[in-house]
């Protein structure tokens, strides 16, 4: 039996379908420090554009972490647009704000401003675009890849296109942003879309294994260092740890290898708020997780210019780690102590 997604297709804005369907030279941009959802959505959109006779360039400001090497077509990812290509559409995927594209947006500000734009994102904190953009922002979607799946079907692109590469890329994003369907952001629509992708050939079990149950020894050593300095306050209602540049040096890892640490820390039994602080060059990146029915993570990160989802959010703070930690924990404790269960 073929799974019918027709009941969900009205969610796809006509303006988004028309712009993506009509693109001849699309520039598709992911957020910096990419994960499987932004990369899978970009690759999925590239397949959609190509199926409709166009060409697509996928771009990310940062190198693709080795974790995502299994995604077909990821080797074509660029850090800058192709200067020889006359782009006719900019698509920004999985970015809570346009700033999230990072340095590539600053390097090519004139190009980004000139092109017609489509924004496809599922972050609650996304304010939308003030310019001539076709925005599709759906915080009820578990992943941007969930939205791109519906766009593909709306445009008549078979989910099994590109020898299954389309379905696999989209499934990777959904698996990543739901922790293999374990997070509370999963809805009946999420599961139905995932089922359609499996029907189209997406190897769900293998993708889940690669993303969540396969880690190099060096990454496990990095996790160990971070876990060893786990701290808490207020009877464990706020839990945090820190990752320093020295940890990366000592374990022979890169910042991309820190992916997943916050989800491990958030398993702390009593924690209403879990935070990891990552040392940067004159700045500190934070990732936040919160329990369902409690603190809205976007309220915490929003106090520092960040955003994300109610249960998972992040921010970059222009302070050294120790100062950022003091400021963030003051807000985190106040929010956590206000939760009544």
pLDDT at 133: 67
pLDDT, tens digit (0-9, with 9 covering 90-100), for 146-189: 999 999 999 999 999 999 999 999 999 999 999 999 988 999 99
Residue 44 to residue 170: CA distance in whole angstroms? 6
Spatial CB neighbours of 109, under 8 Å, sequence gap ≥ 6: none
Residue 147 to residue 151: CA distance in whole angstroms? 6
Distances (CA, A) of 326 to 81, 233, 244, 287, 299: 39, 13, 16, 15, 17
pLDDT, tens digit (0-9, with 9 covering 90-100), for 264-305: 999 999 999 999 999 998 899 999 999 999 999 999 999 999
CATH 3.10.310.30 fits 217-337, yes or no: yes
Its pTM surpasses 0.85: yes
The chain-wide mean pLDDT, for the chain, equals 95
Distances (CA, A) of 287 to 199, 294, 307: 34, 17, 10
CATH among 2.60.40.10, 2.60.40.1290, 3.30.70.260, 3.90.1640.10 for 6-212: 3.90.1640.10
- 259 pLDDT above the threshold of 90: no
- C-alpha of 223 from chain center: 21
- Residue 5: both structure tokens together: 């997604």
pLDDT, tens digit (0-9, with 9 covering 90-100), for 87-100: 999 999 999 888 89
- Residue ranges of the domains in the chain? 6-212, 217-337
**H or E segment at 282?**
none
Residue 7 to residue 13: CA distance in whole angstroms? 14
pLDDT, tens digit (0-9, with 9 covering 90-100), for 182-212: 988 999 999 999 999 999 999 999 999 999 9
pLDDT, tens digit (0-9, with 9 covering 90-100), for 209-221: 999 999 999 999 9
pLDDT, tens digit (0-9, with 9 covering 90-100), for 104-131: 999 999 999 999 999 999 998 888 765 5
pLDDT: which is higher, 184 or 29: 29
pLDDT at 124: 83
Length of the chain: 341
Residue 36 to residue 24: CA distance in whole angstroms? 25
- 47 pLDDT above the threshold of 80: yes
- 307 pLDDT above the threshold of 90: no
- 132 pLDDT above the threshold of 70: no
pLDDT at 131: 59
């Amino acid at each position: 039996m073929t799974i019918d997604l027709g009941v969900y297709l009205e969610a796809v804005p006509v303006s988004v379908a028309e712009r993506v369907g009509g693109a001849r030279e699309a520039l598709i941009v992911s957020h910096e420090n990419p994960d499987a959802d932004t990369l899978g959505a970009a690759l999925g959109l590239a397949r959609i554009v190509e199926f409709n006779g166009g060409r697509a360039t996928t771009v990310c400001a940062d190198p693709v972490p080795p974790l995502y090497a299994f995604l077909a077509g990821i080797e074509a990812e660029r850090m800058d647009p192709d200067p020889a290509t006359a782009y006719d559409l900019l698509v920004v995927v999985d970015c809570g704000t346009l700033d999230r594209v990072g340095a590539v947006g600053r390097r090519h500000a004139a190009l980004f401003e000139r092109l017609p734009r489509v924004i496809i994102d599922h972050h609650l904190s996304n304010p939308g675009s003030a310019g001539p953009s076709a925005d599709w922002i759906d915080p009820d979607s578990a992943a941007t890849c969930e939205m791109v799946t519906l766009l593909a079907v709306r445009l008549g692109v078979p989910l099994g296109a590109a020898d299954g590469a389309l379905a696999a890329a989209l499934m990777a994003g959904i698996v990543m942003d739901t922790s293999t369907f374990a997070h509370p952001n999963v809805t009946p629509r999420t599961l139905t879309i995932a089922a359609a992708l499996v029907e189209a050939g997406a190897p769900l079990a293998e993708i889940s294994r690669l993303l969540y149950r396969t880690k190099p020894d060096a990454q496990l050593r990095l996790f160990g260092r971070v876990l060893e300095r786990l701290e808490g306050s207020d009877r464990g209602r706020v839990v945090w740890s820190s990752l320093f540049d020295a940890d990366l040096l000592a374990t022979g890892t890169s910042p991309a290898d820190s992916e997943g640490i916050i989800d491990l820390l958030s398993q702390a039994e009593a924690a209403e708020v879990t935070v990891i602080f990552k040392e940067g060059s004159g700045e500190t990146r934070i990732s936040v997780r919160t329990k369902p029915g409690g603190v809205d993570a976007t309220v915490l990160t929003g106090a520092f210019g960040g955003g994300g989802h109610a249960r998972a959010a992040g921010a970059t703070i222009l302070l050294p780690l120790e100062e950022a930690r003091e400021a963030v924990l003051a807000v985190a404790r106040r929010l956590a102590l206000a939760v009544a269960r």
